[in-house]
Amino acid sequence: MTEAIKQGLFYVLDMESSLAESLAHRIVEMKQYQVFRRWDMNVDPEKELENYKDVLKGIIISGSGRNINSAKEAPPDVPAAVFAAGVPILAICYGLQYLAHAQGVPVVRCWDEPDLEKRTPKAAKNDKGEQGPVLFHRTDADSPLFHGLGRSFPVWMKHNWQVETAPPGWQLTGYTEKCPVAAFETGNIFALQFHPELGNSLCGKMILHNFFSLICKVQTPYF
C-alpha cells in the first residue's frame, strides 16, 4: 500500500481561478495529496469520486474569475457528486458565492466606492471591490477553521462580488468592514470569501492546517 493511500487525498475543483496554481502549490507544500480537476473537464466526477471514496479526505472548491450572475454564459458549476461524497468541503471565494446562490441568497456587487450615489453601472467597471490585506472579524460562533487565531486577524481578499446574508440555517462565522459575510459554515461544509491559499496571506496556512488536521483528520508539517 502506498503512502498516498495510507494518508488519503483531497479532490480540488478549479472553478477557473486565477489563483489555481497557488492553491495547488499550497496543498503540495503542506504535504497533502490531491487530484486537481477543472470544473468543466471531460471527466465523470461521480465515477471518479466513487473510485477515491476509500482514501478521500476532503474537497476544496476554488475561487473563480467568473460571475455567478452572468447571463452571457453559464457560470462554473459544482457537480452534485461533490456534495454526495460525504467528506468535508472547503469553498473559497466564488465557492462561497456558489453555495449561497444555490440556497437562493443574492450575490451582489462589493463596492470600494463609499458614496451610494456614485455606485453606477459605469463606475462598477473600474471599482476594485475588496482587494488585498483586510482585517477579518470572527463572530461568536466557534469555527474549527479559526482555531488558534484571535478574534480579528488579517486575510487576503480578491473579489468584486459578495453575499450580504448567510444562507438560511447556516452559521455566519466572520465578516470584514466591506463584506458582511466573509465566512459561513454548516455541518461539514465551510466557506470563505477570502483566499487562504496565497503565500502572502499571513494566517492562510494556519486556516488550511486547521481544515486538514482538525476537520479532515490528516497531518500537516505545520504547527
Catalytic residues: 93, 195, 197
The H or E element that residue 114 is part of is none
Task: Residue 193: count other Cβ atoms within 10 Å of its Cβ.
Answer: 33
CA 156 – CA 197 distance, rounded (Å): 9
Contact 71, 128 (CB under 8 A): no
Cα→Cα distances 134→26, 104, 130, 177, Å: 21, 27, 8, 8
Residue 181 has φ and ψ, to the nearest 5°, of -130, 95
- For residue 122, give Cα distances in angstroms to 23, 110, 118, 119: 33, 15, 9, 8
DSSP state of 66: S
**What is the distance, to the nearest Å, from the Cα of residue 156 to the centroid of all Cα atoms in its chain?**
12
What are the residues whose beta carbons fall under 8 Å from the beta carbon of 31, sequence distance 6 or more? 219, 220, 221
